A and B are shown apart, each in its own frame.
Chain A
Amino acid sequence: MSLLSILIFMPLIAGLIILILPSSFQQKFKYVTLLITILQLLISGFIYFQFDPSVAGVHLESQFQLVEKLAWIRLDLGSGGKLEIDYFLGIDGLSMPFLFLTSLVMAVAVLASWEIKTNLKAFFALFLLLDAAIMGVFCALDFFLFYIFYELMLLPLYFLIGMWGGVRREYAAIKFFLYTLFGSVFMLLVIIGLYFSVINPATGNHTFNMITMMDPANFVQGSIFSIAANQELFGVPARLLAFIVLFIAFAIKVPIVPLHTWLPDAHVEAPTPVSIILAGILLKIGGYGILRICFSMFPDAASQSSWWLGLIGVISIIYGALNALAQTDLKRLIAYSSVSHMGFVLLGIASGTVEGTSGAMLQMISHGILSAMLFYLVGMLYERVHDRDIYSFRGLATLMPAFTVFIMIAFFASLGLPGFSAFIAEAFTLIGAFSSESVNGWLPRWMAIGGSIGILLSAAYFLWTLQRMFFGQTRLKGGTDWALQLSDVNLREKFALVPLAIMALILGILPSIAFDKMNTSVIEFVRFITLKQ
């Protein structure tokens, strides 16, 4: 059993134990969950240090690390060949950083769960199930297994939003579920189509191995998704259509404009720990899926549609930022800023350059850390006075100095102040988008300019919010009652916030600690997708 299996199954088993334990222990459940996430953090930290940055992975099965491969389902389908489904885990530079990010954000989310007071048993059991599913998504290299983990995330999230959410939680939970399922049902059809198109050269069977699916030589001649066959569905080349279907499935997660409308609702209604997980990790699964699946399996279709992807990225950046400017609910504002920041990820990936892709990877990590911090801070405010309308607060800086320091760090880091992670990430993405025209001609230069307007807008809404809420004379909607309730950051909260702030700072000053580990993979990824086929 490799470390990856432990990462996946440890929370699952802990979740089962919590289910079995009697409810009289319920005050202890949060400590159990915290212990599990800290263990996960240690393991993923260990994996980070042990990770060999010199091998690439991406489309080379032999170069994946911590590989675990067991035969799982072998069903003889007669005419359809033998069903070959493996329990196949492994990581490379594109997935390893997310393991660490997941562990970190999960640990913070547990600390934020202290505010949850009802039905603790169900909450922590679902929380741990979600944790296991997310780890599984980042580790799985078998498409069937990937899909199972991918769908497994939906159930706990539905209940976490639905049972502990705000007033409109019913609506938000089912909306989130339906949106994601809409993408993934069609993804299932593409997965099956890929299965029948690909042959594992070693065994001669059809296979769900994602890495085998990346090599055009493994496609059966004349099959739906074979490059040479050039089949069409509804008058669209089959490979392009499959790419679009997969892209939409992941883009809903990212989310891109116009498929983003579930996100503000889900964020606003979700309890703080779930918002943290949603913004911190789940959005990254969309980006990861686009890298690992859409681009790696259909590089030809990716190069054809990169212009559109870039455009969607730019639109998301600007539209998200403009929406954020117009919000009066602080949590909604941050939700829209997420849409804007995740647009950079798409822009970077669509550039098809090493700079752009590295920038996109770093942007995902950086946004994971910063959005977790932002949502936690909003949650703290809401927990104290049950209000988060921007105009209900004024001059909080004098009332809550430590809180203001943290929110300033988070705001300035998010708007791309040099010295913080988001600056490096956004700069690299824009460099990638800018140089793309001369390197491979995928994106025109004006898209980079469009992206930089987004940075400007993000400075506007963050600074304006800072000014409206924190500066000036203290005036609160709730009067003196609120002033008493608005206590400053306590020790537990500091314990969660400080590591995030430090991570954002370190990644801004020494981005090489992230780049070094993923560089080989990114270079190989870019070489692979821009290869003329």
Chain B
Amino acid sequence: MTALLEIENLTIRVAGQTLVDDVSLRLDVGERLGLIGASGSGKSLTALAVLGLLPEGARVTGSIRLDGKELSGRSDRELAQVRGRRIGMVFQEPATALDPLMRVGAQIAGPVRRLTGATRSAAARRAVSLAASVGLPDPEALVRAYPHQLSGGQRQRVGIAIALAGGPDLLIADEPTTALDVTVQAEVLRLLDDLVRERGTALLFISHDLAVVAQVARRVAVLADGRLREHGPVAQVLHHPNDPVTRALLEAARRTSWHAPAAEAAQP
């Protein structure tokens, strides 16, 4: 069986610096993979490379295949067919990932119309039901609000609704809970978990927080300085880390969880 997403020997160079070095990852249909690493380790670049949205001047080698079809090297127009329809993405900063001048309903309905060919009114209804499915209170009224009238957690839920608008097979979540406070973080994680399970969507969950990744992912890959350091089931990586980088990350997580009780609750 071909994997949903296969990344092989991905290398990304920007201005002569190698930021992602020979990374290979594989994600099956409906599977959840956690991608862990300190900031600057190349996690987000890897995600953007999958969508073909790397900043200008980035040089990519290696292969990225979706359903066995090669994505890297394709034109922007062809990749636009994949974006949204096959792959959705949730961003780290919900405050900036929404257009401040558009009502949130229009921001959800826009991709719905474009990606599914729905009529204006059908897309508007779908936006309300998507808003409801991501647990937004009073969705009929809320779709008429502007982003600045929403709380951070609500904005991130809107972001998730937009990412799901095209019914993607793969959801990339780039530090989706980092900008949220701890209680909201837990709610959004649970929501992502439920939605991905209901829809059979595969999940690539990017985070620097091991405790958070352990909650949603089955397998984890550890990145450091653009290299894949360790890769395996969550339990194995968390309890028997082979790599010093993983051990250092675990150590850091333990030390912070001593200060933050909510992170302890996240432990199995």
Partners in one complex: no
List the interface of chain B (C-beta within 8 A of A): none
